[in-house]
Structure 1
Amino acid sequence: MDTTETFAQRVRAEFTPKGAFLNTASNGLLPARGVAALHEAALLRAEGRPLLPLFEDVESCRAGYARLAGVPAHRVAAGASVAAHTGVIAASLPAGAEVLTAEDDFTSVLNPFHVRGDLKVRAVPLERIAESVRPDTALVAVSAVQSADGRLADLRALREAARAHGARTYVDFSQAAGWLPVDADAYDFTATVSFKWLLGPHGAAFLTVPEDFGGLVPVLAGWVAGEAPWDSCYGPVAELAHSARRFDLTHALFTYTALRRSLELIEELGIDAVHAHALTLADRFRTGLAGLGHEPLAAPGSAIVSVPGLGTRQPELSEAGIEVSNRSGNLRAAFHLYNTDADVDRLLEALRG
């Protein structure tokens, strides 16, 4: 495991924010190694050179994310968005199936179930989701960390309740993977985007599935979903991939090229070290808020801190070089590996003023 000094040195070598960037819950920063990889990939296209190395990056990302998520690579599909992955799960449910969700969860986790029109979608408060699983629940779908306010779902209780009632589980790790240790093997399906805590560009997302695919139908399958992709370019795919790659979507090659380097960086630093760093900063911010007379929404153990009533300060903070979000009137600050004590103190000083 890296020492604190080595952790800081490696981070400083990779990131050059112009101000205090505290908005990873919206999108993360690109490391220098990822920017360099993007540049080289663009030159491949510009100069007409073979793109085979970019396809190799996709497989490296699949393997890197699999290690981070705690599943074998053959259970990871490489797609484009959480909404698309949710859509595949929604399309695979029988008519009339009940899907249990958390109130006001992120739209990508919810909307594909609603647009089916013939599913029973039930929403309950996040803290009641485990106790709300019942015998006729077919699927529980929830974000591990809530985008709006950083609250963590009690995934252990949810998993036990779902198992007791025979329900499948679908967890979105978009606001977790990259700072919070995750265990995709504990759930039937999980998904995440790459452009937030995983520090990649937009355009890539991962889906994990069970060994038997959990009854999913690859309704979005194209040529990349074939067992032999380059032999599957014309006509119907004769043989779908024997792995989760049957759920792949056409790859945004530049994105995966940069993401490969970001995943390598996170692995080098160690997810436990990133987790500890992020929580230390979030707790420093919470302590400082108390000194200013502000109380954030309760989200213990989260790297995301949401403060009621301060969201309207976002434009002026941005003008001052401090990037946060306004979510329904709440100021949302997110702390990741490139943030420092100085970033926290700068935000607190600005709020004091």
Structure 2
Amino acid sequence: MVREAFGERFDVPHGYLATASVGVPPQGAVRAVQAALDDWATGGARPPAYDEPVETARAAFAALTGYDAADVAIGGSASALLALVADAVPDGARVVTAVDEFTSATFPFAAHGDRGVRVLEVPLDELGAAAAGAEVVVVSVVQSLGGAQVDLAPLRAAAAGGTLVVLDVTQAAGWRPLDLGWVDAVVAGGYKWLLCPRGAAWLGTSARLRERMRPLAANWYAGGDERWSAIYGLPLRLSPDARRYDASPAWWCHVGAAVTLPWLASLDLAAVREHCVGLADATLAGLGLPPQGSAIISLDRPDALERLTDAGVVAAARGGRTRLAFHLYNDASDVDRVLSALR
């Protein structure tokens, strides 16, 4: 089924409510990636030609999150980029996070336990208070497990007091307006709500974080503007800005991202949020449950996933519950299908 939403067209089937697992790309992104693959298949691929889509997507991610493009690094996954941040945490640091936080956010920090780094879990509604007394706080703006959203105000106060604030926006960027230029690190994988091919991720960074970060995966692509003229021999030559942390890009992924991210950045994201949250809350209301104000909802009903699957709804099992995710290409017919299956 082809759906039109916010000026783009999508091949999204009825009942697809699994964007929190894998997003469905707009047709324009699919055409761009297919054209790039055709070039590759016929000997037409030219490596320098992929610099433009990398920079286009980088600038759009910056616009979506409130950074300058020069403050954004690219990578293949959120956890790989957060590994650079975790390495910059001092020995013995106290890192606080939310209970049941997604492991791609916490594992890079927990892996430094051998040097005394302690990662402590607290309830989400207590995170702000805990952050004020910690060296680092790391949390997803929207929780993967069930769509709960973090209160950013106390985290901003903690940042002003010296706490290093690290936010994962993988489940938020693309449907929720974000203005996070005050945050030390903002990371996102692109293959969910940002509707990119899997293999592209971005990390926005603050100047104070970059003073601590080492380019552990230093490579030829991180050489910035001189990458094509100085790819052999020493000494180490890296970009002076956040591009020094770039991983060598997966080309086709950034070709797709160069279509979807600028489009998303051009939208009225308040309207996108209203659309997505409206569908999610309408589903909860139809089931006699209170609104949550998130595009992701989680149902605590043992038979839900089986009944939804039988009705042609694509959902996900997470933490013993059934997770539904409503993006901009979903509509009221998806709500009706869920309610018909579960009533």
State the TM-score, normalized to the length of structure 2: 0.93
What is the CA-CA distance between 1:47 and the residue it aligns to?
1.2
- Deviation per CA, 1:195-249: give whole Å up to 9, x if none: 1110111001110011352421111121111132224433456221111111111
Using the TM superposition, name which of 91-100 and 12-21 deviates more: 12-21
Q: Equivalent residue of 1:226, what SS?
A: helix
Q: Percent identity?
A: 38
Q: For 1:324, give the aligned amino acid.
A: A
Structure 2 match to 1:4: none
Q: 2:138 aligns with which of 135, 141, 144?
A: 141
Using the TM superposition, name which of 78-87 and 221-230 deviates more: 221-230
What is the CA-CA distance between 1:45 and the residue it aligns to?
0.7
Task: Please give the residue correspondences for 1:258-273 in structure 2 after superposition, counting only pairs within 5 Å.
Answer: 258-273=256-271
Task: Please give the residue correspondences for 1:232-251 in structure 2 after superposition, counting only pairs within 5 Å.
Answer: 232-236=230-234, 238-251=236-249
In 2, distance between residues paired with 1:209 and 1:52? 26
Provide the aligned length of Structure 1 versus Structure 2: 336
In 2, distance between residues paired with 1:214 and 1:305? 39
In 1, distance between residues paired with 2:279 and 2:200? 28
In 2, distance between residues paired with 1:37 and 1:147? 29
Q: For 2:200, give the aligned amino acid.
A: A
> Which structure 2 segments of 5+ residues have no match?
none
**Preserved contact between residue 223 and residue 237 of structure 1 (Cα < 8 Å):** no
Q: 1:97 to 1:340 in 2, by over 3 A?
A: same
Task: Please give the residue correspondences for 1:1-353 in structure 2 after superposition, counting only pairs within 5 Å.
Answer: 9-11=4-6, 13-49=8-44, 50-117=46-113, 118=115, 119-135=117-133, 137-164=134-161, 166-212=162-208, 213-227=210-224, 228-236=226-234, 238-290=236-288, 295=289, 300-310=292-302, 312-352=303-343
What is the CA-CA distance between 1:264 and the residue it aligns to?
2.9
Q: Equivalent residue of 2:137, what SS?
A: strand
Q: 1:250 to 1:289 in 2, by over 3 A?
A: same
**Preserved contact between residue 188 and residue 214 of structure 1 (Cα < 8 Å):** no
In 2, distance between residues paired with 1:42 and 1:323? 29
In 2, distance between residues paired with 1:145 and 1:38? 29
In 1, distance between residues paired with 2:55 and 2:147? 31
> Which structure 1 segments of 5+ residues have no match?
1-7
Q: For 2:96, give the aligned amino acid.
A: L
What is the CA-CA distance between 1:112 and the residue it aligns to?
1.1
In 1, distance between residues paired with 2:99 and 2:229? 45
Q: Deviating runs (4+, > 4 A) in structure 1?
A: 8-13
Q: 1:10 to 1:330 in 2, by over 3 A?
A: closer
In 1, distance between residues paired with 2:300 and 2:70? 43
In 1, distance between residues paired with 2:233 and 2:94? 36
Q: Equivalent residue of 2:207, what SS?
A: coil
Q: Please tell me the root mean square deviation across aligned C-alpha atoms, in Å.
A: 1.8
**Preserved contact between residue 73 and residue 204 of structure 2 (Cα < 8 Å):** yes
Using the TM superposition, name which of 149-158 and 320-329 deviates more: 320-329
Using the TM superposition, name which of 259-268 and 336-345 deviates more: 259-268
Q: Equivalent residue of 2:167, what SS?
A: strand
In 1, distance between residues paired with 2:159 and 2:34? 46
What is the CA-CA distance between 1:261 and the residue it aligns to?
1.0
In 2, distance between residues paired with 1:282 and 1:10? 17
Q: Equivalent residue of 1:184, what SS?
A: coil
**Preserved contact between residue 217 and residue 245 of structure 2 (Cα < 8 Å):** yes
Q: Equivalent residue of 1:142, what SS?
A: strand
Structure 2 match to 1:5: none
Q: For 2:177, give the aligned amino acid.
A: P
Q: For 1:302, give the aligned amino acid.
A: S
Q: 1:210 to 1:287 in 2, by over 3 A?
A: same
Q: Equivalent residue of 1:140, what SS?
A: strand
What is the CA-CA distance between 1:300 and the residue it aligns to?
3.0
**Preserved contact between residue 18 and residue 321 of structure 1 (Cα < 8 Å):** no
State the TM-score, normalized to the length of structure 1: 0.90
In 2, distance between residues paired with 1:10 and 1:167? 40
In 2, distance between residues paired with 1:156 and 1:342? 36
What is the CA-CA distance between 1:169 and the residue it aligns to?
0.4
Q: For 1:185, give the aligned amino acid.
A: G
